[in-house]
Structure 1
Amino acid sequence: MSATNAQVLIIGGGAMGVSLMYHLVKAGWSDVVLTEKNDLTHGSTWHAAGLCTHFAHNPTIQELRATSVRLYRDILPEETGGTCGFHPSGAMRITSNPDRMDEFAHVAGLSRFTGYDLQMLTPDDVERLHPLARTDGLLGGIFEPDDGHVDPSLATNAMAQVARKNGATILRYNPVTSIRREDGIWVVETEKTTIHARHIVNAAGTWGWEIGHMMGLNIPSVPMLHQYLVTDTVQAVSDRIAQGQPELPMIRDPEESWYVRQERDGLILGPYEKNAEAWSIDGCPPDFGADLMPPDLDRVEDIILAAMTRIPALATGGVKSVVNGPITFTPDANPLIGPAHGLANAWLLTGSSMGVMEGGGAGWFLAHWMTYGAPPMDALAVDSRRFGSWVDRDYRVKKAIECFGLQFGVHYPYEERPAARDKRLSPIHDLLLERGAVMGVAYGWERPNWFSNKRGDEAIPSFRRTNWFQPVAQECECVTSAVGLADMSVFSKFEVTGPDARAFLDSIGANRAPKPGRIGLTHVLSPAGGTESEFTVAAIGETQFYLTSAAAAEERDYDILRARADGFDVTITRVTESYGVLGLMGPNARALLEDLTQDGLGKWLSVSQITVSGISVRAMRVSYVGELGWELHVAADQMRALFLALEQAGKAYGLGLFGAYAINAMRLEKGYRGWGTEFTTERSPAETGVGPLIKMDHDFIGKAALADRMASDDRWDMVLLEIESGDVDPFYAHAVLQDDRVVGVVTSAAYGYRTGKTLALAYLRDRHARDNLTISLLGTSRAATILDTPPFDPSNTRMKE
């Protein structure tokens, strides 16, 4: 068996893998090899309906889809002299649901910022654009004029043609049999050759879980069976063609869970049933390739009938063929793109339920990341490390089934879906439920979002004020006037020890490590100067530091810490589940603690080991809510006793419990930024507004790029906005305008209960736009005023008391 050397080996020849190959060679990579088990497009790509859209709730996902459209429609035909079979038909979504109209208005507002023209529709507009659709009962819809559909095989082979022309190698009918790592090189055994590669990429799609298993990974994806039917000639469509009418726009009814598009003189109908069927969960049949399952239209009969009611012409065509094949779903229906956790030079580009729709852009996204060391946009929605080791078989299957059934579900702000819950529980989970906690999920952890006066209460999802508005107001009042207690155990937690601990921490971030007994904040940058991570750093001693960060950043941060520890004599230990954390916040916090300890409680931004009610506690005097307070970090097996002691002693001080929604509202009243919302790889910490935490007197990765950004007049600027109040509170991803010109975007927002103000943090991409600002909120315009100082305790007096 011969051996092949590669700079990068891509495993999988569907739209995603071939797109990466195309974009890597365009970026100048050499020795790019792609191996495919069968032939290009086999698995899922070849039988896809080829729908392409600009509709998305997240700017990064939207850009993946928009990049695909540009590639298939414009770039590849020009490069190859051929066609990808792209039909610029446009598309619409229709609804009879008022909440859906809010969702459409929100996406249209976001799209104003991203630069894509999505238009709200009335029922009359729907009838004009799609004459075959009935409009009775409809409230309206949204139109995506630049959408279309593509021939998946033509598009994939066009990318492969360009890649081969630029030196890439494609090995067909060459399944991978084993993967190992030797002397810093990936050794991949295949049927035809042994491939030695510096980088490997799992782009195996339907086989993504199996290839991941060979890599030593648990890939959280599951193949799901999706059917669509193709009609014979539909006379109404044939008549339009004969009259020279344009192709009908694609149409989706998310309430009835179907899409329809024109296919020559017929139609394609694709239903998404609620009782979805997972397929080959633990490995596909060895001989599976360009294969389909037998039709099973009984499963979707009700959806087909609903579609025929809306588009009566569907019933006149007869069924020409039925496609029933696998597509992969992750637990949140977004693809897995980025570094593979814990492995050097290993990447994921798999798990996309929209492989053709997102494939062209996904390849661009990962090629940029691999080339420049950072993604081109915020990667949180797609980063493969957003799921951790807590994702077991039960979780990935139940969530994939849920996502399939909710493919057309309303995407509410602060949505909490019910499948596969209770994967990570704090030691006081049951006590919090007894006290009325309404739980949400953060990186698998169950955490209280808010507290109800009755156990078992649930949040009513809405784009408008809902049933948790008043309970959260009461929680904020308790924290402001008395004392509140919160379970903050979801933090990611790490210990850094060793002779070089201080030097190491100085090297990884834009700030220097704090002195012993003190707490600091440091931001780890990408090579491009964007914010990779945000750590609260507590200096336990000169050679011992305790770091906390966002729950969702756990695997990312662990990778970053270990990767950047090269050359330093340090030990990095992940201790997330070893410690519980209780936040004790409010003007009565000190008095309560003094009843339970004889130890000094320290100054603001100090850390000390104290004994509380006989329990050893790492007390960190920090507050994300702007009140006097402590984070009490305690061994997990002692957290229950500490909670009960604080609760009992707190009765004399008016203690109440508070959750994540109250924390969010209160931190916005202080203008505090958050990782994943304000801090992202797209923007530098200087643009995010934490300039005092940047110390340019030491070396760190991204320093030069950060200096360039700070000196650029094109840099963005984060501001705190007061929004004109109304019956809808802003939340995130609203366009900011100046005299109808889009100048920025809201990153997070909430009603501030202590100040009576509606507040938002926003990036201004035109930092000179300071006056006459508005935000686009569910199709309405709200005045927005920049606040020069936070509206709550701007001098930090309350925290320092």
Structure 2
Amino acid sequence: MTDAQVLIIGGGAMGVSLMYHLTKAGWRDVVLVEKNDLTHGSTWHAAGLCTHFAHNPTIQELRARSVRLYRDILPEETGQSCGFHRSGAMRVTSNPDRMDEFRHVAGLSDFTGYPLEVLTPERIAELHPLAKLDGLIGGIYEPDDGHVDPTLATNAMAQVATRNGAKISRYNPVRSIHREDGKWIVETDKDTFRATHIVNAAGTWGWEIGHMMGLNIPSVPVLHQYLVTDTIPEVTDRINAGLPELPMIRDPEESWYVRQERDGLILGPYEKDAQVWSIDGVPPEFGADLMPPDLDRVEHIIEAAMDRVPALMNGGVKTVVNGPITFTPDANPLIGPAHGLDNAWLITGSSMGVMEGGGSGWFLAHWMTHGAPPMDALAVDSRRFGTWADRDYRVDKAIECFGLQFGVHYPGEERPAGRNKRLSPLHQLMLDRGAVMGAAYGWERPNWFSDTPGDIAHESFRRPNWFLHVAHEVETVTTKAAIADLSVFSKFDVIGPDARSFVETLGANRAPANGRIGLTHVLTPAGGVLSEFTVTMLSDTHAYLTSAAAAEQIDLDQLLSHAEGKDVSVINRCEDFAVIGLMGPLSRDILRAHTDADLDNGFPWLTAQTLDVAGRPVRALRVSYLGELGWELHMDRVHAEHVFLTLEATGKPKGMGYYGAYAANAMRLEKGYRGWGSDLTTERSLHEAGLGMFARAKGRDFVGRDAMLDREDRDDRWNMVLLEIHNSEFDPFYAHSVLQDDQVVGIVTSGAYGHRTDKTLALAYLRDRHATEGLSVSILGRKCPATILPKAPFDPDNTRLKS
């Protein structure tokens, strides 16, 4: 038996990058096992494209770090080239919505420091003289993009890692995995390993290795084809003239990419009807293998590419590559801790394994070394899918993601595949009342309500078709009352003699008194915000915690870990309980009709009681995310329909309506309330987020305490502000750069139009916290003046909440 500090399973770009970065971080006894040879699976046949284009700062950083690693760092460390070509890349379009997307990504990139150039048709012709301009309205240019030789890059990382002490065991497939005496026991053909940490980096085989670990890995191999041409005279002429390599060109509307390959071109199409492969297990003999060409499937895309780049017609097809790449349900990789398992990690599922591999290894190595990711991890966190992501879901979403590889990423986009996985007991009642549904962690939830049967959201970067509907919902909440299905909350009971001490040491805030409601934030070791819980102390021995839907597995892991050594039980109530929100100035009158409780002086703001409502037991929490008088009513799901219909029957004659997630988002911004996952992330501390009032460090010990206090006094501390944006035709959403004059000083994390205040609002972090005057926000390429609001623009004294 061989002991290892960490055992990495999988020798593609992702696993080898992790091995490289762990050894650079000082880890020793790092072992990588690979069933074939390095790069076998999907890395070896990848086209090697590398880009900085991304809609999320974390994804962009993974890609940018990969470029720097392949282009600069590895050649310096090894003395050998990784075959990186800094060709630049462009995306072109005939779609106005796509141009909005390009402007938005360019604005994000101004903040992250990887500036991208929005193109006119004339500039496209200048950069890529072989492309026809017919129908094009513009594009975007990524000057530092390029392509790399995947095999050279992977082997270079392996060379440095083994020089630093790592060991690689090739042609050594894993046969079984289990836990024994706090260690991972991994049996392979050649040896049995006893490891403290285990990492699934198996890529194409990620589902199978996950199955051995006891995990559901929501990834599916999908076959992707690209063709390599013979010599093309136009390319040869450029080479002979000493001209630079052509930039890569992508036409997302027609779903293809083209890049230069020596004196020819590579064309890669993405068809809409993707072909999944080996869903439930890859053939054991599969290694550096390919499928037969199937160009009939993509003939129409090839023809479209030839129309745009006619030189493609002047070179015959030399090679067709048809091999598997893995897709997760959102096309982002799975990186981070494995849910429910100690010292188990994932770095797998990337459809862009070479493009993101170098950065992904850095990301997970930092997480494993420091106990927290180096950046916000939500876009890649391996726990963002639950057991509801079953076989049908992962297949349907993989096909959808492949077909929409070049789809427009609208703000708040809702894609149709894989829906109706988790339904609240009020689901059909919501549909009957005109709810237009969205998805949150598998749950169906009302986004907004329409009086037109079959209405859907017309997605846009500009003001959407649901704007006036949301305005009506907000007016109803503000002037009368409205009811909502809030069952998507993550919900947990903590029961036992140590329940109070459990909450007292869980996060940065103290436990509330019995019958009171408080807010506590679990921190990372670096002092960032990992989780946000609304905590209700029902008694000294019973705490009830709620949090965001998408945080279910992340938060459950934290609660179970914190419970070790304490006399408590943590019970996941996500499927057991339903939640009804009843909000607005008439909410008390409506609720009073169905309970004997004193809802006036006997039920103040931020308190909780167990009530009999319409003859059913309910945990009633007087709390509101909207800034209005109201209650959250938590109950066993079997009681939800009865309670809802009873309240509705009383409320409708009083003008009561319904509200959804979009109205809630607009109203919470008018109160300046922060949202977990957007405004609150592991990157920023409570003080940076403007929530220092929830940091009660004196006389207490909790994870991240000292780091949080240290960050409070640092000169480079960021600062969250609530902005009013002026003269904007568009409503902000996320990732818009904040400028002072022409200097980028911050980034928007969330935004919306506030219907109660008639203000366009955004929460933003200023990385220069002294830059408070002369601000503007860049929205779709337009600078809109902005001012910092010193207090919430709606009911700043909480008069309505306390009424």
When normalised by structure 2's length, the TM-score is 0.99
SS of residue paired to 2:724 = strand
- Aligned counterpart, 1:624: 625
Matched residue, 1:743: 745
Aligned to 2:389: 391
Cα distance in 1, alignment partners of residues 562 and 181 from structure 2: 19
Mapped to 2, the partners of 1:372 and 1:677 lie a distance apart of: 22
C-alpha contact 1:722 1:786 (8 A) present in aligned 2: yes
Q: How does 1:467-478 map to 2 (within 5 A)?
A: 467-478=465-476
Contact 1:737-1:773 at 8 Å conserved across structures: yes
RMSD: 0.5
Which amino acid in 1 is paired with 2:792? P
2:716 matched to 1:730? no
Number of positions where the alignment pairs a residue of Structure 1 with one of Structure 2: 799
Paired AA for residue 688 in structure 1: A
Structure 2 letter corresponding to 1:565: A
Q: Secondary structure at the match of 1:163?
A: helix
For residue 641 of structure 1, what is the aligned residue in structure 2?
A: 642
- Whichever residue aligns with residue 615 of structure 2, its letter is G
SS where residue 218 of structure 2 aligns?
A: coil
Q: Is the 8 A contact 1:437 1:455 kept in 2?
A: no
Q: 2:536 maps to which residue?
A: 538
Query: What is the CA distance between 1:177 and its match in structure 2?
Result: 0.2
- 1:529-608 equivalence runs, <5 A: 529-601=527-599, 602-608=603-609
Q: d(CA) in 1 for partners of 2:99 and 2:490?
A: 37
Amino acid at match of 1:513: A
The aligned counterpart of 2:723 is: 721
Q: Partner residue of 1:656? A: 657
Distance 2:123 2:574 in 1: 53
> In the alignment, what sits opposite 1:60?
58
TM superposition shift of 1:284: 0.3
- Paired residue for 1:296, among 285, 294, 297? 294
The DSSP-based 3-state class of the residue aligned with 2:211 is helix
What is the identity, as a one-letter code, of the residue corresponding to 1:683?
Answer: R
Q: Deviations over 1:499-521 (max 9, x none)?
A: 11111111110000101000000
Q: Residues of 2 paired with 1:441 and 1:754: CA distance?
A: 26
Runs of 4+ in 1 over 6 A off after TM superposition: none
Q: Could you tell me how far 1:302 is from its partner in structure 2?
A: 0.3
1:774 is matched with which residue: 769, 773, 776?
776
Q: 2:244 aligns with which of 237, 240, 246?
A: 246
Q: Which runs of 5+ in 1 are unaligned?
A: none
Question: Shift of the alpha carbon at 1:708?
Answer: 0.3
Query: Which whole-Å CA distance do the structure 2 matches of 1:337 and 1:40 have between them?
Result: 20
Deviations 1:509-567 (A, max 9, x none): 00001010000000000000000100000000011000000000000000011112222
Q: Which amino acid aligns with 1:749?
A: G
- The CA deviation string for residues 457-497 of structure 1, in whole angstroms up to 9 with x for no partner, is 11001101111000000000000000010100000000111
Deviations 1:356-399 (A, max 9, x none): 00000000000000000000000000000000011110000000
Greater shift, 169-178 or 644-653, is seen at: 644-653
**Which residue does 1:144 correspond to in 2?**
142
Q: Tell me how far 1:292 sits from its aligned partner.
A: 0.1
Identity between Structure 1 and Structure 2 (%): 72
Task: Kindly state the Cα deviation for residue 689 of structure 1 after the two structures are TM-superposed.
Answer: 0.7
How far apart, CA to CA, are the structure 1 residues paired with 2:611 and 2:205? Answer: 52
Cα separation, 1, equivalents of 2:543 and 2:739: 44
Distance across 2 between alignment mates of 1:287 and 1:499: 55
**Amino acid paired to 1:738:** Q
Letter in 1 for 2:275: E
- Return the offset for 1:634: 1.1
- TM-superposed deviation, 1:167: 0.2
The aligned amino acid for 1:131 is: P
Counterpart of 1:765 in structure 2 is: 767
Whether 1:111 aligns to 2:109 is: yes
| Aligned position for 2:453 | 455
Residue 455 of structure 1, CA deviation: 2.4
Correspondent of 2:492 among 457, 480, 494: 494
- Match of 1:195? 193
| C-alpha distance in structure 1 between counterparts of 2:725 and 2:177, whole Å | 55
CA shift digits 1:563-606 (9 cap, x unpaired): 12222111111111111001100000001111111112310000
Deviation track 1:649-701 (CA, whole Å, cap 9, x = no partner) reads 00232100000000000000000001001110000111111111110121101
**Partner amino acid for 2:717?**
R
Contact 1:229 1:269 in 2 (8 A): yes
- 2:675 maps to amino acid: G
- How much has 1:498 moved relative to structure 2? 1.1
- Find the aligned partners of 1:444 and 1:740 in 2 and give their Cα distance: 42
The separation in 1 between residues aligned to 2:134 and 2:366, in whole angstroms, is 47
Q: CA deviation at 1:755?
A: 0.5
Distance (Å, rounded) in 1 between the aligned partners of 2:675 and 2:381:
18
Structure 1 counterpart SS, 2:787: strand
Structure 2 residue identity aligned to 1:679: L
Match among 176, 180, 183 for residue 181 of structure 2: 183
* Alignment check: 8 A CA contact 1:725 1:758 kept: no
Q: How do 1:498-509 and structure 2 match up within 5 A?
A: 498-509=496-507
Taking the aligned partners of 1:112 and 1:643, their CA distance within structure 2 comes to 48
Which amino acid is 1:149 matched to?
H
Q: Secondary structure at the match of 2:413?
A: coil
- The alpha-carbon deviation at position 727 of structure 1 amounts to 2.1
* Alignment of structure 1 residues 152-171 onto 2, 5 Å: 152-171=150-169
* 1:797 equivalent among 787, 796, 799: 799
What secondary structure sits across from 1:376 in the alignment? coil
Partner Cα distance (2:437, 2:5) in 1: 46
- Aligned partners of 1:67 and 1:651: how far apart in 2? 56
* Contact 1:579 1:633 (8 Å CA) reproduced: yes
TM-score by length of structure 1 reads 0.99
**Partner letter of residue 323 of structure 1?**
V
Classify the secondary structure of the residue corresponding to 1:421: coil
Pick from 328, 333, 340: which aligns with 2:326? 328
